[in-house]
Amino acid sequence: MAEVTISKEKMDYTIDLLITMVTDEIAEETGKDRKEVLTDFLCSKTGKALYDEKTRLWCNGPSYIAELYMEERKNVRA
């Protein structure tokens, strides 16, 4: 099977959509403001890894990414 190439523009759009879904889920779970969650998420290791296409984190669903972020935040506070 031939490897499919995704344009940078489409990849960024996909990641942006994932971030929207992830931050919505986290805000709903925690009761925090979506803008605050978005800012924290984008500064996190998880958020940075999501934009690094080599990690392939973007291949996972929003719930998995949200869990990864929440685990990261828990470990930061510990």
Three-class DSSP category at 55: helix
Residue 62 lies in a domain: yes
pLDDT tens digits, 12-64: 899 999 999 999 999 999 999 999 999 999 999 999 999 888 898 989 999 99
Q: What is the pTM of this model?
A: 0.84
Question: For the chain, what is the domain count?
Answer: 1
- Computed from CA positions of residues 77, 72, 25, 9, in that sequence, does the dihedral angle turn out positive or negative? positive
Residue 56 lies in a domain: yes
Domain encompassing residue 45 = 8-77
Residue 25 lies in a domain: yes
Residue 3 lies in a domain: no
Residue 35 lies in a domain: yes
| Amino acid making up residue 75 | N
Residue 65 lies in a domain: yes
